[in-house]
A = this chain, B = another copy of it.
Amino acid sequence: MQLSQTEENYIKAIYALSERSPSFDTSTNEIAVRINTKPPSVSDMLRKLTVKKLVTYQKYKRVTLTKTGRQVAIQIIRKHRLWEVFLHDKLQFTWDEVHEVAEQLEHIQSEKLTERLEKYLGYPKYDPHGDPIPSATGELKEAKRLMLSEMEMGVTCQVVGVKDSSSEFLQYLHQIDVGIGTKIKVLEQIAFDHSLIVSFKKGHQTTVSKKFADNVLVTS
């Protein structure tokens, strides 16, 4: 099925939002906020996507992706993350620069390109944000990741991704020299505001907020 860039962006947004909901659905307003449009535009598009059997939707109710819709979403995410790896590994883009360009590259239509790119990159399993890359057949492994705020005291862990990928957050991380692979040990939790005292690398010690720790994903 030949989808426009706009349709692809909607599908991807619905996927992301519904995956994080316990009932695997989402709402008109949530979609509007995420893709920076107004609710009426979303209503229009949901009608279109329903006709194309990509979403299950009745007006005034919440939306779910159909099986086809989910497959479409996963293929776009696959391309997005492969391009992110390319930009990061081959063209030395920094962590916070890759997303914006991948947002465009994910819409290039050529299966051959995707497969060749994947091979060229050495079949990477994770993108530069630590998110798993779906296989050509749509298999997507769950990354066993924790929020930094969930780590036990005294245990050293490694940064594998972020929850928030706003450029504000990514730039802050860059500023304090935290990236994929950075080793962090949680030393103490402050009862008052749940902020954490942590050490990076060789003893260099800082305090980070709960909000920060909730948005840094780590593996132990």
Q: Contact between A101 and B105 (Cβ–Cβ < 8 Å)?
A: no
* A20 close to chain B: CB less than 8 A: no
Chain multiplicity (copies)? 2
A97 surroundings in chain B (CB, below 8 A): 112
* A92 close to chain B: CB less than 8 A: yes
- The digit string for A91-113, where 1 denotes a CB below 8 A from any CB of B, is 11100010011001100111011
A115 vs chain B, min Cβ distance (A)? 9
Q: How far is the CA of A117 from the CA of B117 in the complex (A)?
A: 14
A93 surroundings in chain B (CB, below 8 A): 112, 116
Closest to A91 in B: B116
* A120 close to chain B: CB less than 8 A: yes
Indicate the member of A90, A113, A117 with the most B CB atoms within 10 Å: A113
| Chain A interface helix/strand/loop/mixed | helix
Q: How far is the CA of A210 from the CA of B117 in the complex (A)?
A: 39
Q: How far is the CA of A120 from the CA of B87 in the complex (A)?
A: 11
Q: How far is the CA of A100 from the CA of B111 in the complex (A)?
A: 13
Q: Contact between B112 and A92 (Cβ–Cβ < 8 Å)?
A: no
A131 vs chain B, min Cβ distance (A)? 21
Q: Contact between B109 and A91 (Cβ–Cβ < 8 Å)?
A: no
Which of B92, B104, B109, B113 makes the CB contact (< 8 A) with A87? B113
A90 surroundings in chain B (CB, below 8 A): 120
Closest to A97 in B: B112
A163 vs chain B, min Cβ distance (A)? 25
Q: How far is the CA of A90 from the CA of B101 in the complex (A)?
A: 20
- The digit string for A45-61, where 1 denotes a CB below 8 A from any CB of B, is 00000000000000000
A102 vs chain B, min Cβ distance (A)? 10
- Contacts beyond the supplied A93-B116, A105-B105: 8 A-B pairs with Cβ under 8 Å: A87-B113, A91-B116, A91-B120, A92-B116, A100-B110, A101-B110, A101-B112, A104-B109
